[in-house]
Amino acid sequence: MHISKFIIRNFRNFESADFNFKEGVNTIIGENGSGKTNFFYALRLMLDDTLPRYMGFGERDFNRNLGNWQGHWIILTTHFSELDLSEESQALSIHACGQLDTEEEKPKGSYILCFRPKSHIRQELYEYSQKEDKDKSGLENILSQINITDYETVYLCRGYLNFSKDDIYKSYVGDFENIIFPNPNEQQKQKYGDYLPREINLYNEISCTFIKALRDVASDLRSYSNNPLVRLLKDKGKSIEIETQNDLVDSINELNSSIASLNEVIDIQKGIDDSLKQAVGTTYAPNIEIRAELPNKMDKLFQSLRLWVGDSDDEDRGKISELSLGGANLIFLSLKLLEYEKIKTDKVANVLLIEEPEAHIHTHIQKTLFDNLHQHNTQIFVSTHSTQISSVSKISSVNILSREDKKSVVFNPSYDLDDNEIVRIERYLDAVRSDLLFAKGVLLVEGDAEQILIPVIFKRVFGLSLDEIGVSLINIGSTGFKNIARIFHQDRVNRRCSIITDFDESFISLPINKDDDNPEQKKARNSQKSGVERKDNLDIFCEKNMCIKPFFAKNTFEVDMLLESNAYEFKNIVHEVYKTKSKIKESKSNLDSEDVEVSGREVLKLATTKKKGWFALLVAEEVNVNTGVPDYILSAIAWSSPHINSASKVKAVRYRLENVHFTAELLEEDIELIKIHSSFNSIESDEDLLIKFRDCFQEDPLTKLLNHYDS
């Protein structure tokens, strides 16, 4: 039995969320504030016996997007798959309601927590919704009278309604907009759920342990209730032979007697006795004796055992409190895994929740640890914002959390993908490329040159980094974009992904008859043909996917960069490619040529001679605030970052104003720059600043970028 789905409705930053899980290890990844901790807390409310069973919710536990929380419900639903034949499992089984899924060898079940208005409130809402003269003001009058004390917490089972769906929520909870509320006495229990039988206590049958990120391991290992070492030893204590136990007890009793009979101990005992009698007299003075109380019972003996540890390169051993935080966390996690494997296999299900294991654990250990977390009969949930852990996560076992419009949304990156597609994605993701799972927008590029130069250009031209606006740039390493781009889809990871590639239109003249091509022309013609085919294939691939869009350089990246009046940047690194003065002079002259056949040939020759990646590194050093940016790159960045806020745009405007020497050609009118700058300084509104900049500098790269956000 394992958790296959977890649904949250109206709880904290989750307005409506569907999590899908597999057996074994599941990963919940997401940025800070995306809801990872709230997800764990919601799951613990249902399964963790360290939290109160009928824990009350407060007003702030309702999702803020509701506006008015009064009348709404918080609903947490846990779905289980592959239930066994135990009484506890069958109490959850949806099949008991006649909903047998013939495709499943083992039944499914559900366990539901509802925080809802009490029955008299629900009845009042229903009765008002039946009135012909009902209106919004009347409904608001009823809702305004509801207090948090008018709510109840109930646990249900066997329900199969998905309350994350708005139509289901409105049908069974209420349509507040249209003032339609169901009759609480006529709801179909088979769909809604039954009360969990009183004799069934899931807390006793499902073992749930939460390992928080910044835990005090030393304190936990001193605790009897939280100490996995004690539990492991106690379990082993049952197998110690009685004769051996008796020998140990006799030895300890003898040791206790020896300690108590020491002259030093007897002297202290006599001194205390004399002092008491002098203070209160012999009539009222209690009799005292000092005894050694080393535990002489096996369970108490095991509690006295402590781990002594040392770092991997140190033979010395000390208390666990002396170990590094990372080492201590590794030890505790290992003990918990061993405890589940050795002791808790009699439970219906074992659930281990691990919050951000990267908090104190080294990068390489993160990957190794996560890769080896699979344990028999234990389902593990790991939350992380570590690219190391996400890189070794199975895409089919990943749920991505993201902040969107003041709420958290859940993406399932493997939804509706076949096994081969999933395998290709998992092979591709490594610690560098897996950051695309965390991004708000993605740029996929096909080569090292784009990977190196585009982030540098964006930073130096606009004063912003791609990371700052939540965009990840990923080098695919070829033109095989489809394998990775398919992750981005309205039903999977609902984030925009721009594919940046070359159209490879030939910039050299080609004969009408291809048979007349020389080797250079033949190569250019073949590239052009491939470019057309690439564009056609990508256009078809992206046609029905609202999350993917291709952007093409007219020629190639290097040539299109040069044609944006960037000869200066390329000329400055010619001496790194050629050593003779004549070659350097000739190359610079070619780069300055207005004939693209000349300049285009030269820039590609430089890139090929130096190798494109190294060439891009050299060019990156020369990129500056005046570097031109090809329009297809501006368009791709803007399309991938519709979420960019006004503050970032204003920051870019002020950066340009402070760093660019604007010429009259860039201005709408030929007026003095001093007047331009002084006029900008007097603007207080961000919106007015953006409008003023775009009006004055219509040909500036930033204006072109901002225009793309409007298109």
372, HSE (Cβ side, Cα atoms, 13 Å): 11
Which token pair is 663?
Answer: 């010429």
| Model confidence pLDDT, tens digit, residues 452-503 | 999 999 999 999 999 999 999 999 876 578 888 999 999 999 999 999 999 9
The last residue of a domain, from among 306, 338, 367: 306
Identify whether the C-beta of residue 604 lies closer than 8 Å to the C-beta of residue 668. Answer: no
Tell me, what's the pLDDT at 102? Answer: 41
Q: Does residue 255 belong to any structural domain of this protein?
A: yes
Cα distance between residue 508 and residue 598, in whole Å: 9
**Reduced to 3 states, what is the DSSP secondary structure of residue 133?**
coil
Same domain for 248 and 175: no
348: pLDDT strictly greater than 70:
yes
Q: What is the pLDDT of residue 647?
A: 93
Helices 612-622 and 448-462 cross at an angle (nearest 10°) of 10
Whether 569 maps to a domain, the answer reads yes
pLDDT of amino acid 341:
66
- Does residue 193 sit in the same domain as residue 254? no
- Say whether pLDDT at 100 is over 70: no
Domain boundary among 631, 654, 688: 631
> Is residue 424 in some structural domain?
no
| Domain final position from 306, 328, 347 | 306
Mean pLDDT, the chain, whole residue set: 83
Would the pLDDT of 222 be above 70?
no
Residue 36 or 309, more confident: 36
Top pLDDT among 111 and 205 is at: 111
Decide which of 49 and 328 is more confident.
Answer: 49
Residues 451 and 551 in one domain: yes
Q: Element (H or E) spanning 199, and its range? A: none
Clarify whether residues 650 and 616 are in a common domain.
no
Q: Residue 339: inside a domain, yes or no?
A: no
- Kindly state whether residues 706 and 622 are assigned to the same domain: no
Q: Is the pLDDT of residue 321 over 70?
A: no
The answer to whether position 342 is within a domain reads no
- In the predicted structure, residue 659 carries a pLDDT above the cut 60: yes
pLDDT digits (tens, 9 = 90+) for 487-501: 999 999 999 999 999
Q: How many domains does the chain have?
A: 4
Assess whether 96 and 153 both reside in one domain: yes
Count of CB atoms situated within 10 Å of the CB of 273: 16
> Which of the listed ranges 135-139, 260-264, 378-382 does the model predict with the highest average pLDDT?
135-139
**Does the pLDDT value for residue 237 go beyond 60?**
no
Residue 487 and residue 596 share a domain? yes
| The 3-state secondary structure of 145-165, one letter per residue | CCCHHHEEEEEEECCCCCCCC
What domain range includes position 75?
Answer: 2-21+51-201
pLDDT in tens, 529-567: 999 999 999 999 999 899 999 999 999 999 999 999 999
Flag whether 432 is in a domain.
Answer: no
Backbone angles phi and psi of 553, in degrees to 5: -70, 140
- Please check whether residues 498 and 588 belong to one and the same domain: yes
